[in-house]
Structure 1
Amino acid sequence: MTSFSDSSYGSKAYADFRPSYPSKLYTVLLDYHQGAKTFAIDQGCGPGTAALPLAAYFTKVIGTDPSAGMIEQATKAAAAKHFTNVQFMKSPAEEIPFAANGSVDFISASQAAHWFDHDKWFNETARVLRPGGTLTFFGYLDHTYKNSPIANEIIQEFSYGKNYLGPYWEPGRYILRNLYRDIHPPTSLFRDIERQLYIPGQTDEAFQMVAKTMTLAASEEYVRTWSSFHNWCKEHPGEIARRHNGEGDIVDRLFDRLRGSTGWTDKTVLEIEWSSVIALCRRR
């Protein structure tokens, strides 16, 4: 079980402050997909980040997640947008009991595949996908502030330094940090395997998939959704954020340093982008 499944994890903040995907992501997915668009499943769906947009392309979409809090947020979001062809249920990705063999056209995992038991997951997705059906997993990591090398240096040290949040990431984080290169769809089950990577400053900007304009204050809220920060809080219950009338926690100290080094204020509007990966394959 990951931090996101903890009952104390802030699923609403995740929904409010995590980035969403642009329409061009779904263009990439649907350009790759072949055949019917009757039934899609989005696994590790969180608050419906990808499942809800997919409902515009498929007759029926089911989003699954092991977190009851995430399922609650996704269900509320679907109701608010009056979606009638998408539903959400609490379930691990490695189990798809609600789908018959070969009955699914498309399966996605957004910002989630690094938490899965991959052998079980590939076998189960292969069971329910029709021949030629699509399996895709995609994600993002390590946000950068455009045109601010000093801020990016600070955020990298904070993210992975041994005196900061480095020790508090779960192992799956490092699978994502390697842009899913360590996740290999078995060629006995899947074919036509493709990957698309974007790394700020290193790859073509045409492949950029995750970006957002945020104030510095909203950027702080985003950092507070990290699983590593959630784990840090559990080990430091005596360090209370200023917002809760404490003397400050590790995120308060990070943003004090960012403001001091850049001259930014909480209202400063920033352009932020993330490294990203899209992996695609078809059921044999």
Structure 2
Amino acid sequence: MASFSDANYDAKSYSDFRPSYPPQLYSTLTAYHKGATNLLVDQGCGPGTATLPFASIFSKVIGSDPSPGMIQTATKAAAAKGIQNVKFKAAAAEDLSFVGSGQVDMIVASQAAHWFRHDDWFKECARALKSGGTLSYFGYLDHQYMGSPLANQIIEEFSYGDSYLGPYWEPGRHILRNLYREIVIPKDLFKDIERIEYIPGKSSEEKYLVGKKMTLAANEEYVRTWSSFHNYAKSHPEVARRDNGDGDIVDHLFDRLKEAMGWTEKTLLEIRWSHVIMLARRI
């Protein structure tokens, strides 16, 4: 999670251009949850994208993240919406010392669990959760341009090719690409384990949750929020055209998409992400 914790990481762009979560996600989680709705903790909360909607479900919500920039952005977002029962705290996922043992009804982690030290995290979640409390972590990855296989081929090569951003992903990306299969929930601490996954073009449409219609220009800004691009930019002093430069690796990617697809900055695209939801109940 080092990239997102960098002081110069653009937390606002992350908030503006990353996909949000639909009501179906929250209804899926609340349908699974059988306990009280007094306290929820959202770990790796980032700018509060998934955190704030829980304010209408739980009496108290705490979002935690190791990045002060993310916490600042999330706090401003809550204030702008007039949400008063959500607080944010700078803390690693493995540190729930700000809540007592057996006090939390639900713990969630959105687009973050692949960065955690999982053995320590599961133990700390088990300590904090009430018996029967819910643990859920979910994530999305590898956006697809619906109905555009050539564009998908281009973005795949750009994302993971050795000549592009492939070498610049942090190790947790592999865990997310494998839809969290490598994160093993300890059965001596949790029960009733469920897994819900969606892959565009392969899975049942009833499982579809994370998608967005955005212009090509907005999609470019989304790509610039990737941790791999953030890492690439540290060692490649290219200046983007939006910053009055000659162009960087993202500019060149979107030049290629425009040429191959006939798209313009204003072309409206339907984009979907593969995603997974994991659910478990504290024994």
TM-score tier after normalising by the smaller chain length: over 0.9
> After the TM superposition, which residues 124-203 of structure 1 pair with which residues of structure 2 at under 5 Å, given as runs?
124-203=124-203
**What is the one-letter code of the residue matched to 1:254?**
L
Instruction: Provide structure 2 residue ranges, at least 5 long, that are not aligned to the other structure.
Output: none
2:49 matched to which residue of 1? Answer: 49
The gaps in structure 1 that reach 5 residues or longer are: none
Report the alpha carbon displacement of residue 166 of structure 1 after superposing the two structures with TM: 0.3
**Equivalent residue number for residue 255 of structure 1:** 254
Match of 2:276, SS state, is: strand
1:61 aligns with 2:71: no
Deviations 1:169-211 (A, max 9, x none): 0000110000000111100100011000000011001111100
Answer yes or no: is 1:70 the counterpart of 2:70. yes
Partners of 2:12 and 2:221 lie apart in 1 by 11
Matched residue of 1:277: which SS?
strand
- The residue correspondences of 1:35-46 to structure 2 (distance < 5 A) are 35-46=35-46
State TM-score, norm by structure 2.
Answer: 0.99
RMSD: 0.6
Counterpart CA distance in 1 for 2:47 and 2:56 is 17
- C-alpha distance in 2 between matches for 1:243 and 1:136: 39
Number of positions where the alignment pairs a residue of Structure 1 with one of Structure 2 = 283
| Structure 2 CA distance for aligned equivalents of residues 73 and 157 of structure 1 | 32
Partners of 1:273 and 1:199 in 2: how far apart?
A: 9
Aligned pairs for 1:103-118 within 5 A: 103-118=103-118
The alpha-carbon deviation at position 142 of structure 1 amounts to: 0.2
* Separation in 1, partners of 2:158, 2:137: 27
Q: Partners in 2 of 1:76 and 1:31 — Cα distance? A: 30
SS in 2 for 1:98: coil
Under a length normalisation based on structure 1, what TM-score does the superposition of the two structures give? 0.99
Query: How far, CA to CA, are the matches of 1:210 and 1:190 in structure 2?
Result: 27
**CA offsets 1:120-170 (integer angstroms, 9 cap, x no match):** 000000001000000000010000011101100000000000000000000
- Distance in 1, matches of 2:258 and 2:70, equals 32
Q: Structure 1, residues 234-271: CA drift from partner, whole Å, max 9, x if none?
A: 0102x111112211110000000000000000000010
> Aligned partners of 1:161 and 1:207: how far apart in 2?
29
User: 2:219 corresponds to which residue?
Assistant: 219
Paired position in structure 1 for 2:119: 119
1:233 aligned partner: 233
C-alpha separation between the residues in 1 aligned to 2:244 and 2:99? 49
Matched, 1:24 2:4: no
Taking only the aligned residue pairs, the percentage that are identical comes to 65
